[in-house]
Amino acid sequence: MSPVATNLGDLDVKGLNVFMAKIGESRFRTSQLLKWIHQFGIVDFDAMTNLSKSFRQRLASDTEIRFPEIVDTQESTDGTIKWLLRVDSGNSIETVFIPENDRGTLCVSSQVGCPLDCQFCATAKQGFNRNLSVGEIIGQVWLAARELGQTPKTNRRITNVVMMGMGEPLLNFDNVVSAMELMMDDHAYNLARKKVTLSTAGHVPGIYRLRDTCPVSLAISLHAPIDELRDVLVPINRKYPIDSLIDACRSYVGSNPHDQITFEYVMLKDVNDSQALARDVVKLLRGLPAKVNLIPFNPFDGANYECSSRETIDEFRRELVKAGIVTITRKTRGDDIDAACGQLVGKVLSKSARRRSQHKMATL
Ligand code: SAH
């Protein structure tokens, strides 16, 4: 293999087409390769039997297919599986599979750590190291499919992908979009657009860009309906306040009125869980095709918050439901293995993480 081998795992359809043109092969090779790699999980060129021998030899000498490596697997009593994946010598990320009766959701990471500093999130406390490459993002789907022994008939099948793991996906826009294109490509994972969800803490320019380039299902980490409080809980709000966020959401669904935006709302005791704030949420979402997911806060070492009581969450929910907003309280899954929302940490090599993350915030 040449020292600068192209990693075919990093290439989406466009990238593979460019690569084929460069080496004088037809575009037809792109779909063949996508199928081998992503549908059959094959990375050994010799096994790709419908490619000519000379082409296989060329691929073997000039390219490689490299995805992250699993270093640990944990399975929760509720069936949730969490993989720790090494992405380079110092950094690891986490990916979570959440099986339900009628579907299997894979929660995928987009960055090593996160620069956004949301106050209630364990990933934020790790600081930020770097963006993940396309291969490191789609590799999470590739590895999970392989580990689950995915076949169309098993119930341990990936039917949905949520970009809700470590990191802020809109800050790694190009790589995340390329990976999502692969998730939806019928020669790769063949997921419908509605089955791929991107969750953002509110990077407003990224929402417009996503609308124009790859309008998958959108989830917004709202967590507070008023700027005063959201500025503290989700600091990116200081840069992109709630009004601008809601405008972006309106425009996101504008072109396709059947779409709905999911608003996530972590329930923090005595912080954002009052009835008055529930009424503010109702006002804020008026006229938007929206549903709300209330997420019971998942504690972690060093967290300064507690989860709201069951009764408070129910009352908050009732207020929203009364106003006609579909609201569900998300079931906590995988918390015994720290795989629940906001508990993903991986291993982030970054001594100056806090400093750098503050610098990042200033330059978003
Ligand atoms: N950065 C993106 C993707 C992460 S999604 C975003 O913020 O949307 C992970 C979801 O879990 C987000 O809604 C996040 O706010 C929420 N979350 C973070 N920490 C949590 C915690 N400790 N308990 C419950 N939910 C949490």
CATH number, domain at 129?
A: 3.20.20.70
Residue 33 belongs to domain spanning: 6-64
Residues 266 and 305 reside in one and the same domain: yes
Residue nearest to atom 3 of ligand 1 (CA): 164
The yes-or-no answer on residue 121 being catalytic is no
- Taking the centre of ligand 1 as the mean of its atom positions, its distance from the CA of residue 292, in whole angstroms, is 14
Least confident of 55-59, 205-209, 314-318, 342-346: 342-346
Least confident of 1-10, 128-137, 348-357: 348-357
pLDDT band at 355 (very low <50, low <70, confident <90, very high): very low
Q: Which of 98, 106, 118, 292 to mutate to test the pocket of ligand 1 (most atoms within 8 A of CB)?
A: 118
Residues 47 and 166 reside in one and the same domain: no
- Taking the centre of ligand 1 as the mean of its atom positions, its distance from the CA of residue 335, in whole angstroms, is 14
* Ligand 1 within 6 A of CB of 298: yes
Residues 127 and 47 reside in one and the same domain: no
The yes-or-no answer on residue 319 being catalytic is no
Task: Give the C-alpha distances (Å, rounded to integers) separating 18 from 70, 87, 172, 230, 361.
Answer: 30, 26, 22, 44, 35
294 with 328: CB under 8 angstroms?
Answer: yes
Q: What is the position in ligand 1's atom list of the atom closest to the CA of 221?
A: 13
The structural domain count of the chain equals 2
Residues 11 and 86 reside in one and the same domain: no
DSSP tag of 336: G
pLDDT band at 350 (very low <50, low <70, confident <90, very high): low
Would residue 184 count as lying in a domain?
A: yes
Taken as a whole, the chain contains a residue count of 364
Residues 122 and 77 reside in one and the same domain: yes
Q: What is the position in ligand 1's atom list of the atom closest to the CA of 303?
A: 22
Residues 44 and 104 reside in one and the same domain: no
* CA–CA dist 269, 266 (Å, integer): 10
- Taking the centre of ligand 1 as the mean of its atom positions, its distance from the CA of residue 229, in whole angstroms, is 16
* Ligand 1 within 6 A of CB of 179: no
Quote the pLDDT of residue 30.
95
208 with 175: CB under 8 angstroms?
Answer: no
* Ligand 1 within 6 A of CB of 341: yes
Q: Which of 94, 168, 181, 264 is catalytic?
A: 94
Phi, psi of 51 (to 5 degrees): -105, 145
Residues 179 and 45 reside in one and the same domain: no
Residues 17 and 109 reside in one and the same domain: no
Quote the pLDDT of residue 335.
86
- Taking the centre of ligand 1 as the mean of its atom positions, its distance from the CA of residue 329, in whole angstroms, is 14
- Taking the centre of ligand 1 as the mean of its atom positions, its distance from the CA of residue 237, in whole angstroms, is 15
* CA–CA dist 335, 329 (Å, integer): 15
Express each pLDDT in 145-165 by its tens digit. Answer: 999 986 555 567 899 999 999
Residue nearest to atom 5 of ligand 1 (CA): 164
Quote the pLDDT of residue 352.
38
DSSP tag of 240: S
